[in-house]
A and B are shown apart, each in its own frame.
Chain A
Amino acid sequence: MTASIGPTAPTRYRRTAAAGFALWVTRLGWRHAVMWLVAVFALFPVLFVVSAALNPVGTLSSAELWPTGASLGNARDLFQNTPFTTWYANSLFFALTNAAVTVLLSALAAYAFSRMRFKGRRVGLIGLLVIQMFPQFLAIVAIYLMFSTLGEYYPAIGFDTRWGLLLVYLGGALSINTWLMKGFFDTVPKELDESAQMDGATHAQVFFRIMLPLVTPVLAIVALLVFIATINEFLMASVFLRDTDSKTLGLGLYQLVASQRNANFGMFAVGAIMLSLPTLAVFWFLQRFITEGLTSGAVKG
């Protein structure tokens, strides 16, 4: 790649412009062509939703792929005619709380599985894998019936409340994520916490002061995955949250276009963008962890 520097001038191969272009096409040009195609495929729905959000008429039938005008009318309608802020707050509440608590619970368990040897450790680890095969939402009928009864005793965690659904989400806190974290914890040298213990740290101090700072990347990835999964969760939320004011933004948007698909589309488009913003932001800030985290997320056989 580098020309040798010496007393003799390097031989220069002269290429005609056509041959040079042909070489570029076979080496890089086709790659650009393919990427343009893929980018168009990737982008046109996004472009469409942005265009629809700005569309002054605000109906599905008048929305074009390319923006035909710019108006904030849809956004104003969304804020005025629907409990948008409540829905948004609900969505963020579930996503943030679930992500934070799941990371904490999962990290605690992963620390025990990674650093301690105790009776039932193997069974516990395999059990976590097995329970994954029965995803929580398959038990939705049972959860529904359970909470019908629980809600009678404790209205605070019944249907249409935040806490009930959050509890259900937290039931899935120990999951494949715990495996992912355990794998990462294993890569932190054991000598580090042993020396801290020699210096008199308790096991809790080792966990909070030594381990957690060292495993931040995996904490970030798990938080990201849980955040995205929660904000897009529909099945459980649709069973639990039926009151208009208790709905999440996703449910609200679903309801918005369920009845008046054509007329409300502009409002829906604004909502869709708003719902995507937190995910986009999280992606942006965590992008350097993503490839690494996703690859190590594979179940190691």
Chain B
Amino acid sequence: MTVSGSDKEGAPEQGAPARPSPSTTLDGRPRRGVSRPPLPGGRWAGDGSLAGRVVKIGLLGLFTALGVWAVLPLYLGGNWLGIGLVLAVLGLVYYVYLSKRTVPAKYLVPGVLFLMAFQILPVLYTMSTSVTNMSDGHRGDKEQAINSIESMSVTRTADSEEYALTVATTGDPETGSLVFLLTDPEGATYAGTTDGLEDLGGATVDPASGKVTEAFGYTILTPAQVNTRSDELEEFAVPTDSGAGIRSSGLSTAFEGSAVRVYDAECDCVTDTETGRVYTADDELGAFVDEEGDRLPQGWQVNVGLDNFARFLLNPSFAASFFGILVWNIVFAVSVTFLVFVVGLAVALTLHVPRMRGKVLYRILVVLPYAMSSLAMYLLWRDMFNTDFGLFNRMLGLDVDWFGTPWSARAAVILTNVWLGYPYMFLVATGALQAIPRELQQAARIDGANAWQSFRHVTLPLLMVAMTPILVAVFAFNFNNFNAVWLLTRGGPLFADNSTAGATDLLITYTYRLAFNEATAQYGYAAALSVMIFVIVSVISVVSLWRSRALKEVN
């Protein structure tokens, strides 16, 4: 999708009157109606090399092939919106690269397409998710929820059909979604997922037990693997015809039974035929609720407006952990930024002398932490802080549980980040110091200022002009420094009274835990948190950029 050297923009066409007017062609404005006399020699002006044109045609062809590849599965899935989108993008690309009036776009389109698809779109999606109750149990629409409720309540009846069961998956044996490979008494094989039952062809069946032993595209779980996922297995059901479903009984048999909980469209409610309780659909909660307020676990996604935000700001227990985390997050970012600045600047000043033996060696040694892989170094520091085997406890003869108490964990996190962060500040400060003329300091010394005064009143103000934007950037980076906390403490130690928030949690690690590391994923809340982080970072950045501009004007 790149541009090659074949566009004829800016070069006269063969045979046509030459119009080589570089400054106007390169600025990309349309030149309609502008006629200029041909320049001498214009007819021989470059037309783009042949190789360039071949590359361009090749890339466009490749892109077209990519488009066809993208359309096929969408067509099979009947996703017309998706097809429209792909065609629109294809059309845009063709227009941009074949037209002569879209020169800037030729350079911007590749990056902007990626930006749109994988950054702006997710941001908008995050915002729209933040006003829903999306979570495990509230993922799909109402119809899916009803399907799941009915198939989950399947119980064995007298005429239940029995199947030989093999538990398999299409993905990773530990995390991939489960599939039931079933053999009915007649020997026909099926693959059952939460979406329904499909015929399974070409499977190898063990004649003795009737179980499927091999099937293309499926990984069959070993009994041990099935055991570790037995909780999931218990909740797994394959919906069949309305009101019936297939569930496992034990590890190697499954049965088809009828649903105890049945949905009735007329009253928009689910009736439990055993207990006689009636659960009515509540479209505000996205769940079926009975008269006593009990909910069925399977619900659907509904718009909840600003409830997610309100919960974080107003609900006492959530507000307490949210604001607690916010305060620590700011303290963390400020103290790490301040400390790396002080240490980095001190080292830079120490080495800021004209002649010093071993300066280059010192430099290399001091910058080394920055050149190491930070991910590995976080894990290394975590293990150095380990209570039983860690280097610190063994060397100092201590028995401190560094990550066990809030303040020692926070101190450890900050120390680690200072170690990783100061070399960057050292490099930047060295560059900035070298840009400040020595004469200024010498003049101050002659006027009677001592070393501290000349640093404080001459060097530092000049230094800050160059350093402020970098400090803002470092602050913003550390504000959302996921690795810094997650790889060291995973946000812990968790508070005793609140199992979702930890003493070293940043907002971003808290978000991650809510979305991916809890028993039930709470996407709606996590998205609302993301939006709030966005607002906080925006305010801080705008204010500080404004401040730094003000600082610039002073100079």
Contact = CB atoms under 8 A, between A and B. Distances in A.
Main SS of chain B's interface residues? Answer: helix
Interface string B361-389: 01001111111111111011101101011
A106 to B, nearest CB: 7
Contacts of B25: 197, 203
A218 interface: no
Interface in A32-64: 32, 34-35, 38-39, 41-43, 45-46, 48-49, 59-61, 63
Interface stretch (B157-165, B406-414, B534-542): B534-542
Contacts of A194: 22-23, 26
Interface stretch (A10-18, A68-76, A79-87, A229-237): A229-237
A198 B347 contact: no
Given A109-B108, A200-B46, A134 B73 contact: no
A239 B103 CA distance: 38
Interface in B466-500: 466, 469-470, 472-473, 476, 480, 482-483, 486-487
Contacts of A138: 123, 126, 480, 508, 511, 530, 533-534
Given A138-B530, A204-B7, A31 B119 contact: no
Interface stretch (B179-187, B269-277, B288-296, B349-357): B349-357
A116 B28 CA distance: 6
A288 interface: no
Contacts of B5: 202, 204-205, 208-209
A141 interface: yes
Contacts of A167: 114, 117-118
A215 interface: no
Contact of A268 (B46, B379, B466): B379
Contact of B480 (A135, A170, A272): A135
Interface in B514-555: 515-516, 523, 526-527, 530, 533-534, 537-538, 541, 545, 548-549, 552
A22 interface: no
A222 interface: no
A93 interface: no
A292 interface: yes
A239 B424 CA distance: 29
Interface stretch (B74-82, B208-216, B258-266, B334-342): B74-82
**How big is chain B's contact interface, by range?**
35 or more
Given A137-B482, A141-B515, A31 B351 contact: yes
Interface in B36-88: 44-49, 52, 70, 73-74, 77, 79, 82
Contact of A250 (B375, B482, B515, B552): B375
Given A133-B538, A153-B74, A275-B373, A174 B115 contact: yes
Contact of A202 (B48, B389, B424, B428): B48
A204 B466 contact: no
Interface string A123-150: 0100000110111111111111110000
B100 to A, nearest CB: 11
Contacts of A216: none
A172 interface: yes
Contacts of A96: none
Contacts of B372: 46, 272, 276, 279-280
Contacts of A112: 103-104, 107-108
A242 B176 CA distance: 9
A45 B377 contact: yes
A153 B73 contact: yes
Contacts of B77: 153
Given A35-B362, A202-B6, A257-B379, A141 B129 contact: yes
B27 interface: yes
Interface residues of A, number: 113
Contacts, number: 346
A92 interface: no
Interface stretch (B8-16, B196-204, B321-329, B437-445): B8-16
Which residue among B381, B530, B537, B549 has the maximum number of chain A CB atoms within 10 Å of its CB?
B530
A130 B534 CA distance: 10
B255 to A, nearest CB: 29
Nearest to A48: B391
B318 interface: no
A299 B473 contact: yes
B122 A136 contact: yes
Contacts of B512: 140, 235
A250 B469 contact: no
A60 B383 contact: yes
B383 A198 contact: no
B126 A141 contact: yes
A35 B361 CA distance: 10
Contact of A153 (B82, B388, B508, B548): B82
Contacts of A135: 480, 537
Contacts of B310: none
Contacts of A32: 356-358
Contact of B10 (A34, A197, A262): A197
B122 A133 contact: no
B171 interface: yes
Interface in A186-235: 193-194, 197-209, 228, 231-235
A141 B527 CA distance: 7
B371 A118 contact: no
Given A171-B114, A208-B5, A198 B373 contact: no
Given A203-B10, A276-B373, A173 B534 contact: no
Contacts of A275: 373, 375-376
B431 interface: yes
A204 B46 CA distance: 11
A42 B115 contact: no
Interface string A237-269: 001001110000010011001000110010011
B448 interface: no
Contacts of B319: none
Contacts of A142: 121-123, 125-126, 129, 527
Contacts of B123: 131, 134, 138-139, 142
B524 to A, nearest CB: 9
A106 B111 contact: yes
Contact of A139 (B3, B122, B548): B122
Contacts of A144: 515-516
A39 B360 CA distance: 12
A235 B424 CA distance: 22
A108 B107 contact: yes
Contacts of A35: 347, 350-351, 358, 362, 366
B20 interface: yes
A276 B422 CA distance: 18
A203 B103 contact: yes
Contacts of A139: 119, 122-123, 125-126, 530
Given A46-B372, A136-B118, 5 more contacts: A134-B538, A200-B11, A232-B483, A253-B376, A301-B548
Interface of A: 27-28, 31-32, 34-35, 38-39, 41-43, 45-46, 48-49, 59-61, 63, 65, 104-106, 108-109, 111-112, 115-118, 121, 124, 130-131, 133-146, 153-154, 159-160, 167-168, 170-174, 176, 178, 193-194, 197-209, 228, 231-235, 239, 242-244, 250, 253-254, 257, 261-262, 265, 268-269, 271-272, 275-276, 279-280, 283, 290-292, 294-295, 297-301
Nearest 6 interchain pairs by C-beta = A171-B118, A197-B22, A272-B376, A200-B46, A200-B45, A139-B122
15 contacts: A34-B346, A38-B366, A42-B366, A45-B384, A108-B3, A108-B108, A109-B111, A112-B103, A143-B118, A153-B82, A160-B171, A172-B118, A203-B9, A203-B26, A298-B466
